[in-house]
Chains A and B, each alone.
Chain A
Amino acid sequence: MLSKKVILYFILITGGIITLAPFVWMLSASFMYDGHANVYPPRFIPDIFTLTQYEVLFQRLDIGKNFINSLFLSITVTAVSLFFNSMAGFAFAKYRFKGKNKLFNLLLSSMIIPAQVTMLPLFLMLKSVGLINTYMAVIIPGMANIFGIFLIRQYVLSIPDSLIESAKIDGASDFRIYRSIILPLAMPILVTLAIFTFMGTWNDFLWPLIALTDNSMYTMPVALANLMGEHSKDPELMMAGSVVTIIPVIIVFLALQKYYIKGIMMGSVKG
C-alpha cells in the first residue's frame, strides 16, 4: 500500500513541477539583466537579482497605461454584463411568457457559432459609427453573453418560488424582487460569473488587437504581443512583461478559486 502511495505522489509531484516550471522560469528570468537568460545550461535562479526589466517596462515603455486599460475594460465589461445577464437569467428562470423555451433554445444552440464569424461585420459596424479605436469597441461585444445567462438561469431556478410569491403579496415590484431577493441569493453564481468575465476580458487577444489601433489604448496582451515584435531578442524584458500580464488573473483566481471551480462544474452539469 505504501509503494502505491509513493508512486501516486511521485506522478502528482512530477506533474506539478512540469506544470509550474514555465512560471518559475518566467519569474526568475524577469529578474535578470539583459542577456543573462541566454545561457547554456539554462539558469533557474538569477545570478544577479535586478529590477531593471520592470523599470524599462514601466518607465520607458509605459506599460502601466496598458495595465490600466486592461483593468478598466475588464471591470467595466464585468459590471455591465453581470447586470444584463442576471436580469435575463432571472426572466428565463422565473417568468412564463410566450416563446420562452424556443427563445432559450435558440440562444443555447447558437453558442456553437464561433465568435470569429462575427468579427468582420462587427468591425465594419463599429467602424461605420466611429467606434473603432475607442474603449466602447471592446466593451460593446462583451455586454451580454449567452453562457452567462445560462449559468444564472440554472442557479436562479433553484431559488424557491415561494420567496418571490410572498414578496409579490407584500407589493414588491418586479425590479425590487430582482434586486432584493434574486441578486443576494444568487451572489455565489454572480461572483463565479464575474471571475469568468473578468478573466475572459483580461485575456482576450484577437478582438482588442483588431478593434484598438493606438498604442496608448492597447490592452496588456496586445501590448505584450506588440512588444514581442520589437524585443523578441530580449527574453528577460518579455518575461517581465508576461509576469505583469498574468499577475492580476492569478490574484483573482487564487482569491476566488472556490467560486471559479464551482462555476466550471456547474456549467458542465447540463451542457
Chain B
Amino acid sequence: MNRFLSSSILLILFTFGCGGSGDDKIVIDFWTLGAEGEYILELIPAFEKENPGIEVNVQQIPWTAAQEKLITAVASDNTPDLCQLGNTWIPQFVALNSLEILDEYVSSSDQIKKENYFDGIWSTNIIENKLYGIPWYIDTRVLFYRTDVLAEAGLNHPPQTWEELYDVSKKIKEIPGKKDKYAIYLPANEWASFVIFGLQAGSTILKNNNRYGNFSGSKFKKAFEFLVKFHKQGLAPIGISQVTNVYQAFKDEYFAMYISGPWNINEFKKWMTEDLKDKWMTAPLPGPDENTQGVSLAGGSSLVMFNNSEKKIETWKFIEFLSRPSIQLNFYKLVNSLPAVKDAWNDSTLAGDKYIHAFYKQFHHVAATPKIPEWERIVFSKLQQYAEFAVRGTMTTDEALKALDEDVNNILEKRRWLLENE
C-alpha cells in the first residue's frame, strides 16, 4: 500500500511539475475542428514573428465529438480564447451566453469590414442584431452533374429552373439502359436539400420569430412535394442503402446529379479519372423560375471569441491575421477550404478552377437557416425522419409535414415560454 501511495505522489508531482513554460509570453488558446488544426500550424509562425509577445496554442477537436466537447467546455468554464465554430452552431453558444460581441471590434478595424464578405455568409454570424463571429472559410451547396448524361438527355447546360430539373430527370430515366438507374440523388438523410428548396420557394421554414414550425405552410409544402415527386416517380433512389459510396455511384452513372458542397470536389476529381475526367461539372442551383436565382445554404466556419477570455486584444489580432486575403489564400492552398474574404477569390488558383466557379456564383445567393439553438436538432432528428417517411410513402406529404410541425412546435415550446417570460 505504501508503495502505491508514494508512487502516486511521485506521479502527481511529475505531472504538475512539467506544466509551466517559464517565459512571459501571452498565449492564445485556439480550438479548431477537423483537419484544419493540423494545417493552421503552418500559418502560425508568421503571426508569432510579427507579434513576438504572443504565442498561439492550437488544440484540435474532431468534428464527430465537437459539439459535445464545446458545450461541455462552456458548461464547465473551460473555454479557449478563440474557437472555430460551424456557423449554424453559433446560436447555441449565444444561448449559453458565452460569446463575445464583435461589433465594436469590427467598427474600429481596418482589416475586417462587412463589405469584404459575401452578405449571406456574414449574416449567419448576426443574432438579434449583434455580431458574434467572423467568417473564416465558407461553403455552400451546388449541383454536381454529369455533362455526358445530361447531353444524352438533350440538355447542354445545367438545369436553370425547377421545371428544367424535373424535365431533364424524366428524360434521363427514359434513356435506354437507364431503367435501373436514377437521374438525381436526393437522400432523405441530407436535410439540406429539403431546406434549400423550401427557402427557394420563399418559405421562412419557421414562423412568428421562430416560435413555430412552418413546414406545412404552402411554400415549404410546394418544395417538399416537388422533391418527393422525384422519389415517387423513380427519378431518385428511395433507399439510401443502395448508394454506399456516392463517388462510385456517380462514376457508374447510377445517378447523374447530386446537390453537395465543396468538400466533395476533390473526392469527385479522384474518382472521375481518364475518359470520365471531363464528363462532370458543377453549377449554381436551379431556381424556382427563370427570373429567380436559386438560393443555397450559407455554410462554413466562423471564428468566435469567448467572452471570458482574458486576452481579447491579442485574440482579435490573430483573427485579423487569419482574415488577410493572403493568409486566407494560403489556407485554401493548404486544406482547400474556400476563403471567406472576397479579395482572395481574385487569385488564379481559385479563379482558374472551373469546378469552383459555380461556388463563387452561388455565394452571392446564399441564405441563412433560422438562427436558434434548436435548429440543428430540428433538422437532424425531425426533418430527416419525416422526409424519409414521405419519400418511402409511409406517410403522405401532408401527414408528414403536419406531424413534423407538431414535433417542431414541441421542441420550440421552451423557446416560446422563454420569450414570453423575458
Residues of A with Cβ closer than 8 Å to B? 68-69, 71-72, 75-76, 78-79, 82-83, 123, 127, 130, 132-133, 183, 209-210, 213-215, 225-226, 228-230
Does B4 lie at the interface of the complex (its beta carbon under 8 Å from any beta carbon of A)? Answer: yes
Tell me the residues in window 53-108 of chain B with beta carbons closer than 8 Å to chain A beta carbons. Answer: 59-65, 68-69, 72-73, 75-78
In the complex, 17 of the A-B residue pairs with CB atoms within 8 angstroms, ordered by the A residue number, are A68-B15, A72-B12, A72-B15, A78-B4, A79-B4, A79-B8, A82-B1, A123-B75, A132-B78, A133-B76, A133-B78, A209-B65, A210-B68, A210-B72, A213-B73, A226-B60, A230-B60
**CA separation between A82 and B3, bound complex, in Å?**
13
Q: Which residues on A sit within 8 Å (CB–CB) of B68?
A: 209-210
Per DSSP, chain A at the interface is helix
List the A side residues contacting B12 at CB < 8 Å: 72
Query: Are A213 and B76 closer than 8 Å at their CB atoms?
Result: yes
Contact of B62 among A69, A210, A230 (CB under 8 A): A230
Within 8 A of A (CB), among B1-57: 1, 4-5, 7-8, 11-12, 14-15, 34-35, 37-38
Within 8 Å by CB of A226, from B38, B65, B76, lies B65
Please tell me the size bucket of the interface on B: 20 to 34
CB <8 Å contact, B64 and A229: yes
Q: Kindly state the separation between the CA atoms of A83 and B15 in the bound complex, as whole angstroms.
A: 23
Closest residue of chain B to A132, judged by CB?
B76
Q: Inside 8 A of A83's CB, which chain B residues have their CB?
A: 1
Asked if residues B4 and A214 are in contact (CB atoms below 8 Å), the reply is no
Q: A133-B78, A213-B69, A213-B76 are in contact. Are A230 and B15 (CB under 8 A)?
A: no
A75 and B62: CB pair below 8 A?
no
Near A by CB (< 8 A), chain B positions 238-268 give none
What are the residues of chain B within 8 A of A68 when measuring CB–CB?
Answer: 11, 14-15
Residue among B15, B60, B77 with the highest chain A CB neighbour number at 10 A = B15
B76–A230 touching, CB < 8 Å: no
Q: How far is the CA of A127 from the CA of B76 in the complex (A)?
A: 5
Candidates B8, B64, B75, B78; contact of A214 at CB < 8 Å: B78
Q: Are B62 and A132 in contact (CB under 8 A)?
A: no
Q: Which residues of A contact B78 (CB under 8 A)?
A: 132-133, 213-214
Cβ A132 vs Cβ B75 within 8 A: yes
| A212 nearest CB across to chain B (Å) | 9
A226–B15 Cα distance when bound, in Å, is 21
